[in-house]
């Protein structure tokens, strides 16, 4: 494995000052429950996609301070020697539950829960959030682009515009989970198995005395994988005619009919229609047309409305940076602590802004599917020891407008949070990236089209059980 896996020191400094404080005040071993959740779907979409758990697992498994780290921390002159000694043997010994990667997720429901001694549970905040936030952001954006492409392959082309190596590599990983067919990023394939591939740059065409020689040479070298970039000089005047010549001269005599051209500038709808006609007239019906150039879900959707004849897309900067909304606002909030006898004491965070009030306690999340048609219709957040009995009618209510109630029958309830670590031990059989990708596609199929539309999507219900709602109200009244 080439990756650098020990990110222990990639924490906000306050995790350490709080840790030292808990250590010095006897709170170190108090068991805490923290939830990761988010408040708004990027781009005002109907759902997000969870990604990044694999890197959370690697992080937790590799948590350890080395001598240099301890030496550095000593130099800050704010940590006790006893705490620094404690850090030498620091390991994660707690429990983690999380939704599997690729799961559609909704605001205000836990997507990961940590139960661990206070110092540990607090310490892992920064890395968990940065990882889940980044990959969920890119997965969510990618899936919009992939849906706009209506089944045509979308390749991730963004490494060169990514905000650093991790953004390129893990962005490529997240984009593959969310439906990209592959990536231009070679290391993302080597590390994570997102298939790498690509076409050619304008420089290849410029390097040769003329365009036809450049195309011919490429076809001779890669007869089974020749996608020629046709916009270096003049798409319809020279690019497409020269591509046709090269295909006919080099590929057809070998019986190869599958090939491609890439359009990377100009009016992609117009050019693709014209190019399609020229290719078909030349008998090259198996030649696919790729398009790239600052694409996103809106341009792709628009291209089809204009009758574009495009078979595949390369999408870079707007995907890898999630340009339209570059922040995924996942947060990490204390939901409960345990007393000496193991009783769970729920904790709430109050805010003037109702959206920022947390849901207390150790919780579970159930996704409810309609048995007729199989689509998901709501998520129900319950206390950790509640079970949803799908054989009985279930009354759901809007937690913000409790008079809005509806009773459901003939449904299936699926628990979303699955055990990842128990007592510090990994208990989750890590799925392969192909399994995660296939799971993601299946789960998105189970969402209603109304939740998936780009503009004004249906507001999917994330409800609280009556018991959980009551506890939240009690705490609100106590603290308010
Ligand atoms: N038919 C179309 N409808 C809507 N948007 C389009 C269409 N064709 C291309 N676009 C988009 O319009 C933008 C064009 O940008 P820009 O003007 O920089 O490109 P260009 O004209 O191809 O020039 P360059 O050669 O500098 O790339 C891109 O985002 C591209 O994806
Ligand atoms: O536009 P994106 O969605 O990021 O797709 C990737 C872009 O990267 C390459 O451009 P290059 O770096 O050669 O620069 P260019 O903008 O001049 O084409 C390629 O030709 C695409 O245009
Ligand atoms: O393979 C390609 O065509 C490619 C790769 C990265 C960026 N732009 C294009």
Q: Any idea what the CATH number is for the domain that residue 424 is in?
A: 3.20.140.10
Q: Residue 176: CB within 6 Å of ligand 2? A: no
DSSP per-residue letters across 417-429: -EEEEETTEE-S-
Nearest atom (ligand 1) to Cα of 266: 22
- Domain span at 216: 199-309
Judge whether 460 lies within some domain.
yes
| Alpha carbon of 451 to ligand 1 centroid (Å) | 30
Is the same domain home to 340 and 472? yes
Is the same domain home to 42 and 132? yes
User: Which of 231, 264, 266, 323 has most ligand 2 atoms within 8 Å of CB, for mutation?
Assistant: 264
Instruction: Give the number of other Cβ atoms within 10 Å of residue 197's Cβ.
Output: 13
Cβ neighbors of 90 (< 8 A, separation 6 or more) are 8, 63, 64, 65, 120, 123
| Alpha carbon of 237 to ligand 2 centroid (Å) | 22
- Inter-residue contact 229 to 222 (CB < 8 Å): no
* Torsion, CA 276, CA 282, CA 283, CA 286, rounded to 10: -40
Is the same domain home to 128 and 44? yes
Q: How far is CA 84 from CA 89, 122, 127, 240, in A?
A: 9, 17, 21, 67
| Alpha carbon of 316 to ligand 2 centroid (Å) | 7
| Alpha carbon of 270 to ligand 3 centroid (Å) | 22
Is the same domain home to 331 and 249? no
Is the same domain home to 338 and 475? yes
Q: How far apart are CA 7 and CA 430, in angstroms?
A: 20
Question: Residue 430 gets which letter from DSSP?
Answer: P
Q: Which residues are registered as beta bridge partners of 33? A: 115, 336
| Alpha carbon of 198 to ligand 3 centroid (Å) | 6
Residue closest via CA to ligand 2's atom 15 equals 293
Q: Residue 292: CB within 6 Å of ligand 2? A: yes
- Inter-residue contact 160 to 48 (CB < 8 Å): no
Is the same domain home to 236 and 339? no
Residue closest via CA to ligand 1's atom 23 equals 265
Please list the alpha-helical segments (H only) found in 76-182: 81-88, 118-123, 125-148, 165-177
The CATH number of the domain where 207 resides is what?
3.20.20.70
Of 243, 277, 309, the last residue of a domain is 309
Q: Residue 100: CB within 6 Å of ligand 2? A: no
Q: How far is CA 340 from CA 29, 30, 32, 42, in A?
A: 10, 8, 12, 41
Ligand nearest to the CA of 183: 3
Q: Residue 266: CB within 6 Å of ligand 1? A: yes
Predicted local confidence at residue 1, as pLDDT: 45
Beta strands in 339-417 (DSSP E): 344-346, 363-370, 376-383, 394-398, 401-408, 411-415
Q: Hey, is 44 helix, strand or coil?
A: helix
Is the same domain home to 64 and 126? yes
Judge whether 158 lies within some domain.
no
Judge whether 167 lies within some domain.
no
Q: Residue 265: CB within 6 Å of ligand 1? A: yes
Is the same domain home to 284 and 213? yes
Judge whether 317 lies within some domain.
no
383-400 burial, b at 16+ Cβ within 10 Å, e below that, comes to: bbebebebeeebebbebe
Number of structural domains (the chain) is 2
Please list the alpha-helical segments (H only) found in 381-448: 433-445
By C-alpha distance, which of 102, 262, 99 is closest to 176?
102
Judge whether 125 lies within some domain.
yes
SS3 content of the chain, % helix, strand, coil (to 5): 40, 20, 40
- Inter-residue contact 187 to 169 (CB < 8 Å): yes
Residue closest via CA to ligand 3's atom 8 equals 157
Predicted local confidence at residue 2, as pLDDT: 54
Predicted local confidence at residue 3, as pLDDT: 59
| Alpha carbon of 370 to ligand 3 centroid (Å) | 43
Is the same domain home to 15 and 109? yes
Q: Residue 314: CB within 6 Å of ligand 3? A: yes
Is the same domain home to 223 and 299? yes
By C-alpha distance, which of 137, 103, 135, 116 is closest to 35?
116
Q: Residue 184: CB within 6 Å of ligand 3? A: yes
Is the same domain home to 351 and 474? yes
Q: Which residues are registered as beta bridge partners of 369? A: 376, 412
Interface predicted TM-score (ipTM) of this complex, two decimals: 0.95
Is the same domain home to 342 and 258? no
User: Which of 153, 158, 161, 184 has most ligand 3 atoms within 8 Å of CB, for mutation?
Assistant: 184
Q: List the pLDDT tens digit at each of the 480 positions of the chain.
A: 455 668 999 999 999 999 999 999 999 999 999 999 999 999 999 999 999 999 999 999 999 999 999 999 999 999 999 999 999 999 999 999 999 999 999 999 999 999 999 999 999 999 999 999 999 999 999 999 999 999 999 999 999 999 999 999 999 999 999 999 999 999 999 999 999 999 999 999 999 999 999 999 999 999 999 999 999 999 999 999 999 999 999 999 999 999 999 999 999 999 999 999 999 999 999 999 999 999 999 999 999 999 999 999 999 999 999 999 999 999 999 999 999 999 999 999 998 888 889 999 999 999 999 999 999 999 999 999 999 999 999 999 999 999 999 999 999 999 999 999 999 999 999 999 999 999 999 999 999 999 999 999 999 999 999 999 999 999 999 986
Judge whether 267 lies within some domain.
yes
Judge whether 261 lies within some domain.
yes
pTM: 0.97
Judge whether 314 lies within some domain.
no
């Amino acid at each position: 494995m080439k990756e650098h896996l020990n990110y222990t020191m990639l924490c906000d400094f306050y995790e350490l000052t709080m840790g030292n404080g808990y250590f010095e005040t006897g709170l170190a071993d108090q068991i805490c429950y923290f939830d990761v959740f988010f408040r708004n779907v990027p781009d005002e979409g109907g759902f997000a996609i969870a990604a990044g758990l694999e890197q959370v697992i690697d992080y937790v498994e590799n948590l350890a301070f080395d001598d240099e780290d301890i030496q550095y921390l000593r130099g800050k002159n704010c940590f006790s020697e006893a705490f620094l000694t404690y850090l030498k043997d620091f390991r994660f010994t707690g429990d983690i539950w999380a939704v599997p990667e690729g799961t559609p997720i909704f605001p205000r429901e836990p997507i990961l829960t940590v139960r661990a001694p206070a110092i540990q549970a607090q310490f892992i905040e920064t890395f968990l959030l940065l990882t889940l936030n980044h990959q969920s952001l890119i997965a969510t954006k990618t899936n919009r682009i992939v849906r706009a492409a209506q089944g045509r392959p979308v390749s991730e082309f963004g490494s060169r515009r990514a905000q650093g190596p991790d953004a390129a590599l893990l962005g490529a990983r997240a984009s593959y989970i969310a439906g990209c067919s592959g990536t231009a990023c070679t290391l993302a394939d080597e590390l994570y198995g997102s298939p790498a591939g690509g076409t050619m740059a304008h420089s290849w065409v410029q390097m040769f005395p003329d365009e036809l020689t450049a195309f011919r040479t490429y076809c001779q070298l890669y007869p089974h994988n020749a996608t020629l970039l046709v916009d270096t000089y003049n798409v319809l005047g020279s690019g497409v005619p020269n591509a046709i010549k090269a295909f006919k001269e080099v590929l057809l005599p070998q019986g190869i009919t599958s090939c491609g051209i890439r359009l990377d500038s100009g009016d992609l709808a117009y050019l693709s229609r014209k190019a399609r006609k020229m290719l078909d007239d030349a008998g090259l019906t198996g030649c696919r047309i790729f398009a790239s150039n600052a694409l996103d879900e809106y341009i792709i959707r628009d291209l089809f409305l204009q009758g574009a004849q495009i078979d595949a897309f390369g999408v870079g900067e707007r995907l890898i940076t999630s340009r339209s909304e570059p922040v995924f606002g996942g947060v990490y909030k204390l939901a409960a602590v345990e007393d000496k006898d193991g009783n769970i004491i729920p904790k709430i965070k109050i805010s003037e802004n109702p959206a920022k009030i947390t849901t207390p306690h150790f919780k579970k999340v159930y996704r409810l599917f309609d048995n007729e048609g199989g689509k998901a219709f709501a998520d129900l957040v319950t206390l950790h020891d509640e079970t949803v009995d799908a054989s009985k009618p279930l009354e759901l209510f809007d937690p913000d407008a409790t008079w809005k109630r509806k009773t459901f029958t003939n449904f299936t309830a699926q628990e979303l949070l699955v055990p990842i670590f128990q007592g510090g031990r990994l208990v989750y059989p890590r799925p392969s990236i192909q399994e995660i990708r296939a799971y993601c596609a299946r789960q998105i199929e189970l969402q209603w089209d109304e939740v998936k539309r780009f503009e004004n999507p249906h507001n999917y219900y994330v409800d609280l059980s009556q018991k959980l709602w009551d506890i939240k109200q009690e705490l609100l009244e106590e603290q308010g």
